[in-house]
Amino acid sequence: MPDKKKTEEKVTFARELGVFDATMLGVGALIGAGIFVLTGMAAGVAGPASILAFALNGVVTLFTALSYAELASAIPEAGGGYSFVKKAFPEPVAFTAGWMDWFARIIACSLYALGFSAYFWEFINIYLHPLYSLVVGNLGPHLSLSLMTLLVGFVFISLNYKGASASSKIENIITLSKIFILFIFVLFGLKEIFHFPGEAVANFKPFFPKGFGGVITAMGLTFIAFEGYDIITTVSEEIKDPKKNIPKAIFRALGIVIPLYLLILFVSLGSLRAEGLPSWQFLGKYKEIAIIKAAEQFIPYLGVALIGLGAILSTMSALNATLWASSRVSFAMARDKLLPEKLSTIHPKRRTPHIAVVVSGAIFLLMAVLLPIEVVGSSASLMFLLTFSLVNLSVIALRRKRPDMKRGFKIPFYPIPPILGVFCCLFLAIFQYKFKPLTWYISLIWIFVGLLIYFAYFEKKTSKKKPQVLDVDRKKREEEKEAERKKFRILVPLHNPDHVTKLLDFAIPLAKKYDGEIVALVVVDVPFQLPIREGLRFVHHKRPLIKSAIEYAKSKNIEIESDIKVAHRVADGILSSAEEEKISLLLMGWKGFTNTKDKIFGEVTDHLIRYSPCDLVVLKLSKYPIKKILLPSAGGPNAQLAAEYASVLTKEFESELTACYVVPKKAKNEDEKKAWEWIEKTLENKVFPFGLKKKLIESDSIPAGLIREGKDYDLIVIGATKGGIFRSIFLGDIPEKVARHSPSSVMVVKKYEGAVKSWIKKFLG
């Protein structure tokens, strides 16, 4: 009889990022272009006391980081500061916060593009001087810088428009590379300081050549270098256990970056022995390219190349990430009807917020070409300071308005840190007027235009938004459903409409045999440039697969559960569902080949083979129906499980089974005897009601022998084989070759290795 439970369709989001991934995301954003581009400028306006400016900025940003940690642990939604202010204050304030945040990221893009151009031409000047003379000599420094800025801007606008984006693992590698490069810079600088301690000490005298006002100016100018951790909160919906992991990631990122910043500034100031100039004046002279000029003084030839490449890499990755973030902010505001709805349009094929990308890109290129780099850096810092002030105020407001809100992290010594955060951010913002008045004029014009547009147009549109409905009994219903779950649960990811019923033909008899349940899953994948919630727009494309599975299961007198997961990567969606649904067996199809040269089964299948939290069946469907099954025997838990599943399938398909063992040609009697023993051991206590045969296959190659013999069978059921240190990662050489090259259907069975998987999961955070 079918299960009486009502079949429910769930649409959920895959949480793909662990605490290590989230930390590296924050570190990567913090170590962007700021430390490369702004170090020289800070030294120029504060002298040796610029190191104090960086230290104080670390304290100031920590106040706001505490606020971000509490808010993100309570409101783990995409959008970051804009989402927090929206929850705490009336809509006009939320609009202002989002409007400023958008502009802050746009103008940060301008800073990173200009920084890239400056370092690019300096790199060309050092290593390809004839080319530098040809281009810059004829066009002039300003025009050369502007043209390169436009070029790199167009490249990254195009990449974000098309949807090209590195996965979190690639971003981790880039971030670790940047840390390594800066670590090399620090080591050589310290070596120089230890060799010439007297000159190093002299470089820090006088410590305040521009007075303490210079320190405050440097703090405001360089604050943008301390704001990158907030990008962690913009992807809150994609972080595992966000209430715990977001605060951890924020503080770990700052704990890595702030000491590194101080070391970089210390060696830049202390190691230089430039003739005729104090080190701080030397750094101030070269402004945005000061780091590479410092590297020329104390790092060997190839070291300078390393620092130059590091600066170029950092500015490029920062530009890409910040353009992505700026388009996301404008996209989120447009979705909330606080900006033109066109900005929330998603490209029908590339699934990227292409209009938001183009608009953000056009504004940042205009700012980069028209404004000096000091004004660009100061404007970006000013906007972030104002936005951070509102975030700190949001903590205070929500503590009063929503004291019952569950917070995974609470600010210690509240309310002192957020109050100090508001005061320090506003003080630094106001002091920016002394350094560059144009910064404030640009910012005030942007805010005024935004508010004018809001009250003239968007306020009326948002007043028509539908009210939300709160499901009070949801938690209770989820607990009741959890209690009803059966222990043996099979997850069947669906992708190919032609294979829906065939995959269920394998899952249904296993579910009946072990008194289990089936969960049919489809994954809606969205580009990294989109907030994960926007995948909801594409869910309707996948619903026919679920409907087909439910109807077919009912025809077989079994009801199944369904799950629709929205994820940036299909594999992450499947793994997330397997963990949440407490799956015992993952049964997935495989097309039989991959177009990716560096993958064995393909990106999705390879990832699932490595990290599946349960037993795994990889099924290549070629011949169908199944009337003859070949079961190779090799011993071990995988072969035992394969035999167990094979016995269930023979009963379901009314198939005869042949158990086999591959022996070498001209095998000795003792080898044959051992082979028969393995066959008997594998078949022990298994029932095959429609016929059982046993045979030895002679072949010097096990895969070749099985492929040749398997041509006469409809299905080969084979256990994963173990070999070397990679035994827990791949299915083994033999199953991989058989699955890839056999013309028959192939079912590879892999038993879950809990201890190894737990270690991998712990290592990955």
Between the CA of residue 360 and those of 77, 167, 319, 368, what are the distances in Å? 22, 23, 12, 12
Tell me if 225 is assigned to some domain.
Answer: yes
The one-letter amino acid code at 414 reads Y
Tens digits of per-residue pLDDT, 110-138? 888 887 888 788 778 877 878 878 887 77
User: For residues 617 and 717, what is the distance between their CA atoms, to the nearest angstrom?
Assistant: 10
Give 324-327's long-range contacts (Cβ < 8 A, gap of 24+). 324/160, 324/165, 324/528, 324/529, 325/105, 325/231, 325/234, 326/102, 326/105, 326/106, 326/108, 326/109, 326/360, 326/364, 327/160, 327/353, 327/356, 327/357, 327/360, 327/529
The residue out of 411, 446, 462 marking a domain boundary is: 462
Tell me if 647 is assigned to some domain.
Answer: yes
- Give the length of the chain: 765
Tell me if 737 is assigned to some domain.
Answer: yes
Average pLDDT of the chain is 79
The residue out of 447, 462, 477 marking a domain boundary is: 462
User: For residues 391 and 405, what is the distance between their CA atoms, to the nearest angstrom?
Assistant: 17
User: For residues 133 and 310, what is the distance between their CA atoms, to the nearest angstrom?
Assistant: 23
- Number of neighbours of residue 15 by Cβ within 10 angstroms: 23
Amino acid 268: pLDDT? 84
Domains held by the chain: number: 2
Tens digits of per-residue pLDDT, 392-404? 998 998 888 877 7
Amino acid 11: pLDDT? 58
User: For residues 272 and 190, what is the distance between their CA atoms, to the nearest angstrom?
Assistant: 11
Top-confidence range, 29-33, 465-469, 614-618: 614-618
DSSP assignment letter at 455:
I
Amino acid 24: pLDDT? 80
Structure token digits, residue 89: 């204050």
Tell me if 541 is assigned to some domain.
Answer: no
Q: Count how many Cα atoms sit within 13 Å of the Cα of residue 635 in the half-sphere of its side chain.
A: 6
Tell me if 22 is assigned to some domain.
Answer: no
User: What does the DSSP assignment read for 525-567?
Assistant: E--TTS-GGGGGGGGGGTHHHHHHHHHHHHHTT---EEEEEEE
Stretch (H or E) spanning 591 = none
Q: What percent of the chain has pLDDT over 90?
A: 7
Give the alpha-carbon dihedral of 566, 570, 575, 577, to 10 degrees: 30
- Evaluate whether 114 touches 368 at the Cβ level (below 8 Å): yes
Amino acid 481: pLDDT? 57
Helix, coil or strand: residue 516? coil
Residue 513: exposure state from Cβ atoms within 10 A (0-12, 13-18, ≥19)? middle
Amino acid 225: pLDDT? 79
E strands, 218-313, are none
Amino acid 90: pLDDT? 81
Helix, strand, coil share (%) of the chain residues, nearest 5: 65, 10, 25
Give the alpha-carbon dihedral of 163, 169, 174, 175, to 10 degrees: 120
Tell me if 417 is assigned to some domain.
Answer: yes
Tens digits of per-residue pLDDT, 322-370? 777 777 777 777 777 778 877 777 776 766 777 888 888 888 888 888 8
Q: What CATH code is carried by the domain that includes residue 741?
A: 3.40.50.620
Stretch (H or E) spanning 661 = strand 656-663
User: For residues 68 and 76, what is the distance between their CA atoms, to the nearest angstrom?
Assistant: 11
Tens digits of per-residue pLDDT, 20-53? 877 887 787 777 666 777 788 888 888 888 889 9
Instruction: Say if residue 375's pLDDT is above 60.
Output: yes
Amino acid 587: pLDDT? 92
CA angle 88, 90, 91 (to 5 degrees): 115
Instruction: Say if residue 479's pLDDT is above 60.
Output: no
Tens digits of per-residue pLDDT, 253-292? 889 888 988 998 888 888 877 667 788 888 878 777 777 7
Instruction: Say if residue 513's pLDDT is above 90.
Output: no
- Evaluate whether 521 touches 494 at the Cβ level (below 8 Å): yes
User: For residues 53 and 35, what is the distance between their CA atoms, to the nearest angstrom?
Assistant: 13
pLDDT band with cut points at 50, 70 and 90 for residue 688: confident
DSSP assignment letter at 491:
E
For tokens 């979705």, what's the residue? Answer: 335
Instruction: Show the domain range for 357.
Output: 31-462
The residue out of 441, 462, 483 marking a domain boundary is: 462
Q: CA Rg, the chain, in Å?
A: 31
How far does CA 98 lie from the centroid of its chain? 23
CA angle 43, 47, 49 (to 5 degrees): 100
Tell me if 598 is assigned to some domain.
Answer: no
The one-letter amino acid code at 409 reads F
Instruction: Say if residue 582's pLDDT is above 60.
Output: yes
Region class of 346: left (phi > 0), else alpha (psi between -120 and 50), else beta:
beta
Amino acid 589: pLDDT? 86
Amino acid 2: pLDDT? 45
Which residues does 633 contact at the CB level (< 8 Å), separation at least 6? Answer: 639, 643, 659, 660, 661, 678, 679, 681, 682, 683
Structure token digits, residue 188: 């050589």
The one-letter amino acid code at 299 reads I
User: What does the DSSP assignment read for 697-718?
Assistant: EE-SSHHHHHHHHHTT-SEEEE
- Evaluate whether 324 touches 160 at the Cβ level (below 8 Å): yes
Write phi, then psi, for 491 (nearest 5 degrees).
-100, 125
User: For residues 724 and 703, what is the distance between their CA atoms, to the nearest angstrom?
Assistant: 18
CA-based diameter of the chain, in Å?
A: 95
Top-confidence range, 378-387, 532-541, 591-600, 686-695: 686-695
Q: Work out whether the CA dihedral 175, 178, 184, 185 comes out positive or negative.
A: negative
For tokens 């000047």, what's the residue? Answer: 125
Tens digits of per-residue pLDDT, 75-95? 776 666 777 888 888 878 888
Amino acid 295: pLDDT? 80
Tell me if 428 is assigned to some domain.
Answer: yes
Residue 169: exposure state from Cβ atoms within 10 A (0-12, 13-18, ≥19)? exposed
Q: What CATH code is carried by the domain that includes residue 300?
A: 1.20.1740.10
